[in-house]
């Protein structure tokens, strides 16, 4: 990438991960779950962008990007410094940066709109520059754009459902300029697309992540529109609805965009986190309904998947949601929504994770974002508008902590209800120094 676009302080993540393997310096502090094709923040993150669901009657009631100042010497440290509403409520969920990190793509699950923000011109004040409102039409029937994952000059968007609203879906590629390129449907029992199938091919989707040096992409699975837009209490009481959750992960030939193997991973595997080490050919996921950690790994040239640990007490349905793997591949943060806990696992032996710490973050907790140097960890509360808790348990917050290596200690917190902002969901880190020549 041109140096004038990235600034002297930026490094590609795929180069930086090699630095970590041989001893990272304290100056490298980006979020650990980013695409390896992106430039990397050096020095501490300066802003946290929070994609937030609007609540009717609270503030303007609209979905919005909320910018929080986390510069430690700033007079507005730990405060909201900018709010950019997109108009309406779209079930704000996930998103991500382009590979040059100049634009932040965020999406709504209810109407499949995608909002593109310029975060480079003024990182403290993102600006909405484009709205994609024909995603379903262009993609050939996919609804529920979930994430936005940076590829060279492109963005990969994983879908959650289709116009039949039954969960079968695919991956959709766009150019960085927001032009549709291609759709890649998930393999199904009716059309495996040549993939080896362990047990079933359900066609569901959720996350998508790439391990470039092995030319593999791994996708996970969730559920269809009719489930994720219903109240959670109704879904769990509906036996037929509970059958319509994902049980698969798919390993793809990344360059060819062809599925190679469909693993049977029962219980709804969600976030995918590849290890960073140059010889660590494995990824973790957690299963929401069975409360397990799973490992997908290469063994003598063959890719396999197996469960490797319980998360909390599976019989109590703690509902694991987001996970965050440390940059040195030694520790994994795992959030569980129902009990509001985060648990830290020692995964230095990825086949035998051991829980070493736990802390209750709030009455509910969803997302976790960990800095590259492992010293700062951020949490947000909202899962889905219809799945969040009610009454006094419907806490809505961003909480920031310092991680000492053995415990979390508070840095600051923002009550999104008190600030009349809504339900905070996705977080991404920003830095003005990234764009400094």
Instruction: Yes or no: say if 102 and 135 are a contact pair by the CB < 8 Å rule.
Output: no
Rg from Cα positions in the chain: 20
CATH of range 3-435; options 2.130.10.10, 2.120.10.30, 3.40.50.720, 2.40.40.20: 2.130.10.10
The pLDDT tens digits of the residues spanning 17-33 come to 444 333 344 456 689 99
Confidence band for 113, pLDDT divided at 50, 70 and 90: very high
> What is d(CA 161, CA 143) in angstroms, rounded to the nearest whole number?
5
* Residues 53 and 425 sit within 8 Å (Cβ to Cβ): yes
Query: Which structure tokens are listed for 375?
Result: 């010293």
**Which residues neighbour 3 within 8 Å (Cβ) at sequence distance 6 or greater?**
none
Q: What is the pLDDT of residues 243-296, one digit of tens each?
A: 999 999 999 999 999 999 999 999 999 999 999 999 999 999 999 999 999 999
Positive or negative, the CA dihedral 15, 21, 22, 27 is positive
Q: 120: closest CA among 38, 175, 51?
A: 38
Model-level pTM?
A: 0.93
Domain extent listing, the chain: 3-435
Asked whether the predicted pLDDT for residue 397 surpasses 60, the reply is: yes
Question: Phi, psi at residue 29, to the nearest 5°?
Answer: -140, 25
Start-to-end CA span in the chain (Å): 14
Contacts of 149 (CB under 8 A, 6+ apart): 35, 96, 155, 156, 157, 158, 208, 209, 210
Distance of CA 301 to the CA centre of its chain: 28
CA distances from 427 to 65, 136, 162, 188 (A): 10, 25, 26, 32
Q: Please report the pLDDT score of residue 10 as a whole number.
A: 40
What pLDDT was estimated at residue 14? 44
């Amino acid at each position: 990438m041109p140096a004038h676009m990235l600034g002297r302080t930026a490094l590609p993540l795929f180069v930086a991960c090699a630095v970590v393997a041989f001893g990272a310096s304290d100056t490298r502090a980006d979020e650990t779950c980013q695409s390896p094709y992106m430039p990397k923040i050096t020095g501490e993150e300066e802003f946290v962008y929070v994609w937030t669901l609007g609540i009717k009657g609270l503030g303007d009631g609209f979905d919005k990007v909320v910018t929080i100042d986390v510069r430690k010497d700033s007079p507005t440290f730990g405060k909201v410094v900018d709010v950019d509403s997109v108009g309406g409520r779209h079930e704000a969920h996930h998103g991500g940066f382009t590979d040059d990190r100049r634009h932040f793509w965020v999406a709504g699950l209810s109407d499949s709109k995608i909002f593109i923000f310029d975060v480079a011109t003024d990182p403290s004040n993102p600006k909405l520059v484009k709205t994609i409102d024909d995603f379903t039409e262009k993609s050939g029937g996919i609804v529920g754009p979930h994430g936005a994952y940076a590829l060279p000059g492109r963005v990969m968007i994983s879908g959650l459902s289709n116009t039949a609203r039954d969960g079968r879906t695919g991956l959709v590629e766009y150019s960085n300029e927001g032009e549709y390129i291609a759709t890649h449907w998930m393999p199904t029992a009716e059309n495996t697309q040549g993939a080896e199938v362990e047990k079933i091919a359900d066609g569901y989707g959720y996350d998508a992540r790439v391990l470039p040096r092995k030319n593999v992409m791994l996708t996970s699975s969730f559920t269809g529109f009719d489930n994720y837009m219903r109240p959670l209490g109704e879904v769990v009481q509906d036996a037929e609805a509970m059958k319509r959750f994902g049980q698969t992960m798919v390993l793809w030939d990344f360059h060819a965009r062809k599925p190679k193997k469909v693993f049977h991973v029962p219980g709804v595997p969600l976030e995918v986190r590849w290890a960073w080490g140059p010889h660590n050919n494995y990824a973790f996921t957690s299963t929401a309904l069975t409360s397990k950690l799973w490992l997908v790994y290469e063994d003598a040239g063959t890719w396999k998947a197996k469960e490797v640990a319980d998360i909390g007490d599976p019989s109590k349905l703690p509902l694991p949601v987001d996970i965050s793997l440390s940059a040195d591949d030694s520790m994994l943060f795992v959030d569980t929504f129902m009990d509001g806990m985060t648990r830290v696992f020692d995964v230095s032996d990825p086949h035998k994770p051991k829980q070493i710490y736990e802390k209750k973050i709030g009455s509910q907790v969803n997302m976790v974002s960990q800095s590259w140097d492992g010293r700062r960890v951020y949490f947000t509360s909202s899962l889905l508008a219809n799945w969040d808790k009610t009454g006094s348990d419907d806490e809505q917050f961003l909480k920031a902590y310092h991680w000492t290596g053995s415990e979390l200690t508070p840095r600051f917190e923002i009550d999104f209800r008190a600030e009349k902002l809504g339900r905070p969901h996705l977080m991404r880190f920003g830095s003005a120094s990234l764009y400094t020549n």
